[in-house]
């Protein structure tokens, strides 16, 4: 074993500090990455997106059912089964519907992708939120699903005329 000084006389003490910092960074990254994997008991690793959502608070601690539920009759409104509607606001040709559902935003997106009663026009997700644009009953509906807790999501749906200039919200990615 060769003993080397902690300070390189030619390059100074900062070289050793940078080298040590690099080693520590690599060790920290390896440790964190090793902790990212999860074993659910059957040997299969958990999906990283699902693992991120699982880090949100437990839904038993989030008031998903505090607001009274209403049963609106809104043409073009198509939500996943189990959605609780808590408000409806009509603004000219647009109707905004708010509610909650015991699903993740990824589950909401998947629900629309698997439906045969809507035409999927566009979909995006960023794990903690999903945006969906569909055509149903001759109308367009924009849906924003945002995670509130580990398996609970707020849903905002805006329904309007089936045209490009209907005034529906734009996807967040369109704003850079």
* Full-model pTM: 0.67
Local confidence band at 72 (pLDDT 50, 70, 90 cut-offs): confident
- Please tell me the predicted confidence (pLDDT) of residue 8: 44
What distances in angstroms separate CA 91 from CA 57, 74, 86, one per listed residue? 34, 13, 17
Structural element, H or E, at residue 13 = helix 13-36
- Distance CA(141)–CA(76), nearest Å, equals 7
Report pLDDT digits (tens) over 107-125.
999 999 999 999 999 999 8
- Give the per-residue pLDDT at 95: 95
pLDDT exceeding 90 applies to what percent of the chain?
43
Report the chain's mean pLDDT, rounded to a whole number. Answer: 74
Tokens of 82: 């189990």
What's the mean pLDDT in 118-147? 92
SS3 6: coil
Helix (H) or strand (E) holding 101: strand 94-101
Sheet containing 119-125: order of strands: 84-91, 94-101, 152-161, 139-149, 129-136, 119-125
Is 16 exposed, middle or buried (CB count within 10 Å of its CB: 0-12, 13-18, 19+)? middle
pLDDT tens, 20-69?
344 333 333 333 333 444 444 554 556 777 777 676 767 776 666 777 77
Nearest-angstrom CA–CA distance, 37 and 131: 27
Q: Return the pLDDT at 62.
A: 62
């Amino acid at each position: 074993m060769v003993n080397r000084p902690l300070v390189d006389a030619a390059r100074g003490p900062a070289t050793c500090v940078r080298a040590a910092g690099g080693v520590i960074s690599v060790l920290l990254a390896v440790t964190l990455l090793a902790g990212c994997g999860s074993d659910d008991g059957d040997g299969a690793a958990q999906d990283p997106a699902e693992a991120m959502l699982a880090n949100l608070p437990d839904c038993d601690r989030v008031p998903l059912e505090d607001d009274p539920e209403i049963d609106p009759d809104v043409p073009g409104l198509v939500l996943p089964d189990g959605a609780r509607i808590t408000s409806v606001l009509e603004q000219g040709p647009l109707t905004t519907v708010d509610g909650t559902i015991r699903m993740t935003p990824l589950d909401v997106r998947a629900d629309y992708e698997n439906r045969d009663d809507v035409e999927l026009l566009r979909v995006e997700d960023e794990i903690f939120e999903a945006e969906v644009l569909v055509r149903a009953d001759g109308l367009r509906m924009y849906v924003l699903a945002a995670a509130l807790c580990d398996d609970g999501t707020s849903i905002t749906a805006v329904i309007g005329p089936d045209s490009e200039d209907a005034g529906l919200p734009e996807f967040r990615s369109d704003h850079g």
